[in-house]
Structure formats: structure tokens, C-alpha cells
Amino acid sequence: MIKPHGSETLNPLFVYDQKKHHDLQKEAEGLPSLVISSSAAGNAVMLGGGYFNPLTGYMNVADSMSVAEKMHTTGGLFWPVPILSTTHDVSGIRGAKRIALRDPNVEGNPVLAIQDVQAIEEFTQDQMNFIAEKVFGTLEIGHIGVQTFMEAGRYVVSGPIQVLNFSYFQQDFPDTFRTAIEIRNEIKERGWNKVVAFQTRNPMHRAHEELCKIAKDTVNADGVLIHMLLGKLKAGDIPAPVRDASIRKMVELYFPPNTVMITGYGFDMLYAGPREAVLHAVFRQNAGCTHFIIGRDHAGVGDYYGAFDAQTIFDTQVPKDALQIEIFRADHTAYSKKLNKVVMMRDVPDHTKDDFILLSGTKVREMLSAGKDLPPEFSRPEVAKILMAYYQDLDK
């Protein structure tokens, strides 16, 4: 099986030993505590599950600046985005060597992790601007990722963590949330060697379905990991339970048995375009995948990134030996009226725009809200039915 990033074996930070886990929970009751941001909580969940291997905790200012500038920590580890816990107020933990990190997304703010505090530093505005510019490619506060980063606070609390739970993800998505180590174990159990990962924060229509099949066939993979984001999204995005249901229905009806794993991970979307695409590749390698699909405007938002920036970053900024996972570069995929099948647009240079069935996200929402069926060439009817029920319920 493909090696994890940066180490021979995967080292998840979740404390699996029952006695140690119990002792840490008890210790946490007497520690100074900090309610962390939602993004920091997502980082803890990803660290706990082994997705951010080989990191041992949150980065300090020096590592954050180094990663932002050249995608390497000060120690030389390749990493595409700073993994931070920032906050507005450190008065309750100042001087503490060990603290309890509390979950902002669960009622009562239960302890999510225990952190050994190596440093409490403060970003200057110039440093924050530098990181935002490098990671998101813009300083515009209208970019949801920039806004979230800027509003999370300037105090940087760095140091290793021990993770005690996976926030709300295990409870809310028991059939879907999986850690990187659980995915690796299942890949092994299924006897798969080559695995193609597909990232999604949206429901999957015919184009996405066929893209997974095209990628699987092209690289001769044993299976596809459909890996959906289960954390916070921007307003207007379809919630995870609806996406989960629609994807499961599609796989059940339209993929051969034992060719797809449907899983999800607990993380808030960054909308960092190319840099986030590289992060997505890193943690799919940690989950045991050999190939990763990157299409048009991967992890983008608005018009901040070029259509294929998330692909070209692997040629221009990612060193050749930095990752073992291979990138499957996809073009926009759509149904061809000429060929009566879904194709990648680059593969049919003789087509014009009118030869494809193309619907904007706005048009799809309008049709579903009005109870109008989507064209079967665009969306499987069983999937459209689930989405229609959601949009019509919204309008009540």
C-alpha cells in the first residue's frame, strides 16, 4: 500500500488506549481551557484521524510563514497550508504549559483535545496579510476563506495535541465519517491496490459519476473512494446529510458492487483553490489512495482562481518527490448530445457548447425548487428526487 506522507507508518493523534484516554479526560477537568475556533476544531479532527500525518499538532508563526511562502515547514516537511489554532483571547491560558481544547461546534463545549503549549505568539497584520495572499491568492474580505482566517484571531497557540474525540462527525454521520486509518484498513480488507479518490462538497450528478468511472478505467484502479467533506460550508451549499443520501443512492444504483467506498471527513472547507487541492492530495495519500481526481476550479469559490490553477500548481510549485499520490487531471465533464454519453470536453474538440447539456447551479436550484425534473442526461432521477425534496422544503 502507498506510504503515508512524511513517515513510514500512519500516526493518528487520537488516543485509542482506553486507560490513557480516561486518564486524559480526567486530567482535562483540571486544566486551563480554550474554546477553539471551528477551523481549529476541524484541524484537530483531521490530526486525530491521521489525515494530517506526520504533523503532531498546531503550527507556530515561523512554520506558518514558511509554509505560506514555500510550502515547507522550517524543518523541511512539505506542507501546503498552515495548520493553526488562532484565537482572540489567551488570558485564560497565558503561562499554561498544558491546556484543554474545547469544541465550539458541540453543545456544552466538551474537551476535544489536550495540547502541550509550546508557544503563544501574535501575528502582525502584515503576517496575516502575507499568509492570506499566499494561501488564498487574495486579500479580498469577500473571499469566504480570507474572511474566516482574518476573523479567527491573531493569537497563535502552537504545540502537539492528543485528540480525545471526533467532534460531532461520528455521531451525526456514523455511516460516513471515517478516519484515514479506517479507510486504509478497509482498502486492505477489500484487497484493493490502486484507489482513485474523488473529493466532493456537492451532490454528484451524471458528470461526476462518469468522471469517477473514467478515472478508474484510465488508471486501471480497483476502486473509487468518494470522499465528501462533512464540515462547515458557505451559505447556500447543500448540507452534508442531503449530499450523503444522494451520493449513496447514485452509487447503489449505478456503480458495480465493490467498486466504491463512500466516506466523509470532518473539516471546514477552506475555499483555497490550488493550495487546498494540494492539501486534499496530501490527506488522500494518508488515507491510502494512489490517485486523486482534480477537475476544473477544484476547491475554488467565485472567480478567484483560473479553471486549471489547481492542476498546474502540481507542475509549478510541488516538488516532484514531495508526494507519492498521482494526480488525475480532469476537464469539465458533460453529456454530449452528439455521442449520447458523458465525456470530458477536452476529448471532443469537434463539439460546440450547444452539443452539451449544461445547467448552471442557479438553474438547477430553480428547477428543483419549482418541482421540475432535471434532464436525465444531467442528473440521475433518483438523485434529483432527493435534491428536489430538499429545495422544496426550503421554500416552505
* Annotated catalytic residue within 202, 296, 329, 365: 202
First to last CA, the chain: 50
Please report how the helices 381-394 and 361-369 are oriented relative to each other, as an axis angle in degrees rounded to 10.
70
Q: Residue 91: is it exposed, middle or buried by C-beta count within 10 angstroms (0-12/13-18/19+)? A: exposed
- The Cβ of residue 122 has, within 10 Å, a number of other Cβ atoms equal to 12
AA letter at 194: K
**Cα angle value 216/217/221 (rounded, 5°):** 50
Query: Of how many residues is the chain composed?
Result: 396
Q: How far apart are CA 338 and CA 325, in angstroms?
A: 35
Q: What is the dihedral of CA 7, 10, 11, 17, to 10 degrees?
A: -150
**Cα angle value 270/276/282 (rounded, 5°):** 125
Specify whether 202 is catalytic: yes
Q: Using a CB cutoff of 8 Å and minimum separation of 24, what contacts does 232-239 make? A: 232/38, 232/42, 232/268, 232/269, 233/201, 233/268, 233/269, 234/144, 234/269, 234/271, 234/301, 237/201, 237/202, 238/202, 238/203, 238/387, 238/390
Q: Which three cell numbers stand for residue 31?
A: 486544566
Q: Are 53 and 11 in contact (CB under 8 A)?
A: yes
Nearest to 348 by CA among 332, 364, 360: 332
Q: Which three cell numbers stand for residue 156?
A: 497563535
* Annotated catalytic residue within 98, 154, 190, 201: 201
Specify whether 201 is catalytic: yes
Residue with cell 490530526: 47
Nearest to 264 by CA among 310, 318, 298, 226: 226
Q: How far apart are CA 296 and CA 182, in angstroms?
A: 29
Active site residues: 201-202
